[in-house]
């Protein structure tokens, strides 16, 4: 028969394992991030993400005056340069592009005007290795909690 502490520990451990596994499975493959952000005057925002070949990116920036810098993977030895933007814009600009090479994309939008700038878009990316480790943490914790709880059913430690 399981003691109360053992049953509670196994329940908590199972919950952590299921929770971590669910979000780990969701993090595989292509992820989509919807952007809807307002940038105050004089401030900036940066988006940095890993992209695979043929992933679609969409960025709309609307405002008085703003600076957009987009860096995509490029190869200095060949004709392929990717999308490289480093310009000032007024009113509105739309960017739609497909990644032609796996690698890191970086988007920086700086508000250079006197009113707010609205940034909207859709970014397709892949999760990095840190994302995998983040989801493994509750799974491993659940296994440890179940193991420690199982000790309570085998023998009662002194002091409990």
pTM over 0.85: no
pLDDT band at 108 (very low <50, low <70, confident <90, very high): very high
Residues 101 and 118 in one domain: yes
Claim to verify: residue 35 and residue 88 sit in the same structural domain: yes
Does residue 58 sit in the same domain as residue 84? yes
Residue 155 pLDDT = 67
End-to-end CA distance of the chain: 17
Are residues 43 and 77 both part of a single domain? yes
Q: How confident is the model at residue 92 (pLDDT cuts 50, 70, 90)?
A: very high
> For residue 61, is pLDDT > 90?
yes
136 and 73 part of one domain: no
| One domain, residues 47 and 81 | yes
Residue at token pair 């960017």: 95
pLDDT value at residue 79: 62
Q: Dig out the tokens for 62 from the structure.
A: 């609307």
CA dihedral sign, ordered 26, 27, 29, 32: positive
pLDDT single digits (tens) 141-160: 999 999 888 877 776 666 65
Would you say residue 68 has pLDDT above 90? yes
Are residue 37 and residue 111 in the same domain, yes or no?
yes
* Residue 25 binned pLDDT confidence (cut-offs 50, 70, 90): confident
| CATH number (domain holding residue 113) | 2.60.120.380
Helices (H), the chain: 4-26, 129-154
Overall residue count recorded for the chain in this entry? 160
Q: Where are the alpha helices (DSSP H) in 31-123?
A: none
Query: Mean of the pLDDT values across residues 46-66?
Result: 89
Distance (Å, rounded) from C-alpha 70 to C-alpha 107? 5
154 torsion bin: left (phi>0), alpha (psi -120 to 50), beta (else): alpha
Pair 81, 19 in one domain: no
36 and 112 share one domain: yes
Residue 50, CA distances (Å) to 23, 31, 155 in order? 19, 10, 50
On whether both 79 and 42 belong to a single domain, the answer is yes
Is the pLDDT at 140 greater than 80? The verdict is: yes
Q: Are residues 116 and 46 in the same domain?
A: yes
Parent domain of 146: 1-28+131-160
Reported as a single tens digit per residue, the pLDDT across 32-53 is 889 999 999 889 999 998 888 8
Does the pLDDT at position 14 exceed 80?
yes
| Alpha carbons 4 and 17: distance in angstroms, whole number | 20
Percentage of residues of the chain with pLDDT beyond 90: 42
Provide the domain count of the chain: 2
């Amino acid at each position: 028969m399981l003691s109360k502490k053992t049953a509670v520990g196994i329940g908590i451990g199972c919950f952590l394992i299921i929770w971590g596994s669910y979000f780990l499975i969701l993090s595989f493959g292509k992820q989509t991030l919807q952007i809807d952000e307002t940038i105050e005057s004089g401030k900036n925002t940066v988006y940095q993400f890993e992209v695979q070949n043929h992933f679609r990116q969409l960025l709309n920036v609307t405002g008085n005056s703003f600076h957009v810098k987009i860096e995509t993977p490029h190869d200095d030895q060949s004709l392929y340069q990717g999308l490289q933007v480093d310009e000032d814009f007024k009113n509105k600009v739309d960017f739609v592009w497909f990644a032609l090479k796996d690698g890191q994309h970086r988007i920086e939008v700086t508000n250079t005007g006197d009113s707010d700038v609205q940034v909207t878009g859709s970014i397709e990316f892949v999760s990095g290795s840190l994302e995998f480790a983040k989801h493994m943490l509750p799974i491993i914790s659940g296994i440890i909690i179940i193991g420690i709880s199982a000790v309570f059913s085998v023998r009662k430690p002194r002091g409990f």
